[in-house]
Amino acid sequence: MSKLIQVNGFAIFSPVHLSPGLWRHPDDRSLDFSTLDYWTDVAKILEAGKFDSIFIADGIGIHDVYAGTADAALNTGAQIPKLDPMLLVSAMAHVTEHLGLGVTAPVSYEPPFTLARRFSTLDHLSKGRIAWNIVTGYSNTASRAVGRDSIMAHDPRYDLADEFLDAVYALWEGSWDDEAVVVDPIRGVIADPSRIRKVHHHGAHFKIDAIHLVHPSLQRTPFLFQAGASNRGKDFAARHAEAVFLGEHSKAPTAANVAETRARARAFGRDGRDIRFYALLTVIVGETHAEAEAKYRDYQRYIDPKGSLALLSGWTGIDLSRYSLDDPFPTVKKDNAVTSMIDSFSRSERPWTIREIIEHNGIGGRGPVIVGSPTEVADQLQAWVAETDIDGFNLSYAVTPGGYQDFAELVVPELQRRGVYKTGYAKGTLREKIFGPGQARLPSSHPAARFRHHAAVEPQREPTSA
């Protein structure tokens, strides 16, 4: 059997994600972003299309590099306002049965104890469908919002993140045995305290002496997403992630990234196949090639250059207000999550101008845009998978929820005909749906596993994570 192509719906709790200006398109519902009806509709559309999950981006920073202010971002709604995606989960879980629910949350602004509790709560409420996209926070704006003068340096930030994860793993995996929940009405017992242990985590950044407040959920540790693209970020992903989201613009760097991260994972004692890779992608599909092309040209008329400049300046750290639109896109410092897009343009016969990059990336951000009929799109998706070793796609949109709906109604049936897309959801938790039956919990090769309590070995030891 061919490898099945997996798909996540990529979203943000904001009026603009990666296609600034498209909120003005008559088919677009972006301005409904702060309503529950919008999000429950999106969830139902994704589940009807048998998407594996929704993945909601987040971050408390705002894009204020362009002209040194947030004015352009505010003006164009470029990822601001931005609301807390974790609070959408219970409504989406209530209207779906299978869709994985991935939300972004930082390790930077609240104690591991309360974050662990939030995800355990959501894993219970969703019956094991929650995924956590781990972010370390990247902007000075974000730091100033929470009382710090500037952001922590990059590598120490990942050290802190590693410690944060050890702390939450200890809470999720080590505090309550599966046998701790008893529920015996005759004896009047709900839980067995001898199977519940305090976590003692005394690290450089965090300290915990407490039992986890939540009994074991189906997945215990949420399904772990990560999107780090720096060297240290790749190490972090190789160590912890079960799914990695890539934002490369083309196949070659995607393939290199996949191979490298799988190799790093093996170096950490994991199976390279224990990580799924999803490439950022926007698909514009029509019944025919001509229809898709017409749709794309129509969407392009709504691109908002100012919003694009706000996003591009924010992502690259370069204040593009200092350049003319016809200047070549300026050089970006290395080891940055977004350089590869610019790199790939620079590698073409001549450097792209800022205007060309906006025209090219005003829809779908830094990811590729595939335009075509269902068979053409399916061909390209299969080529991406074959040539890069990715497992699937992180699907963005020009218009929402139409972009998801078109994919579900036109591309999915074609992929199903080719035998490369599931025709129904597998049973069980998100982790079982992705990795197979019996895989509700993380495998023993994952770093979280060492926080599990092994009664036979050390009966009274309390889990210590640092």
Binding site per annotation, positions for FMN: 58, 104, 154, 158, 230
Which structure tokens are listed for 99? 């869709």
List binders of a copy of itself among 7-66 (CB under 8 A). 13, 15-16, 21, 23-24, 31, 34-36, 40, 60, 62
List binders of a copy of itself among 287-326 (CB under 8 A). 304, 306-307
Nearer to a copy of itself, 45 or 255 (CB): 45
Residue 66 sits at φ, ψ, to 5 deg, of: -60, 120
Distances 147 to 53, 114, 155, 183, 441 between C-alpha atoms, Å: 34, 19, 21, 45, 37
Q: Is-contact 323 317, C-beta < 8 A?
A: no
204 touches a copy of itself (CB under 8 A) = no
Strands 276-285 and 189-191: unpaired
SS3 call for 57: strand
Nearer to a copy of itself, 272 or 305 (CB): 305
Q: Is-contact 137 61, C-beta < 8 A?
A: yes
128 touches a copy of itself (CB under 8 A) = no
CA distance 318 to 338: 12
Tell which one of 4, 48, 74, 466 touches a copy of itself (CB under 8 A): 74
E strands present in 238-318: 243-246, 276-285
Residue span binding a copy of itself (CB under 8 A) among the ranges 111-119, 227-235, 371-379, 393-401: 111-119
Residue span binding a copy of itself (CB under 8 A) among the ranges 1-9, 192-200, 308-316, 383-391: 192-200
440 touches a copy of itself (CB under 8 A) = no
Cβ neighbours around 162 below 10 Å, total: 19
CA distance 418 to 226: 30
83 touches a copy of itself (CB under 8 A) = yes
Q: Using the structure block, give the residue that is written with the tokens 């909601």.
A: 56
Cβ neighbours around 380 below 10 Å, total: 16
185 touches a copy of itself (CB under 8 A) = yes
Shortest spacing between CB 41 and a copy of itself, in angstroms: 11
Tell which one of 44, 207, 355, 452 touches a copy of itself (CB under 8 A): 207
Shortest spacing between CB 138 and a copy of itself, in angstroms: 15
210 touches a copy of itself (CB under 8 A) = yes
Total chain residues near a copy of itself (CB under 8 A) = 74
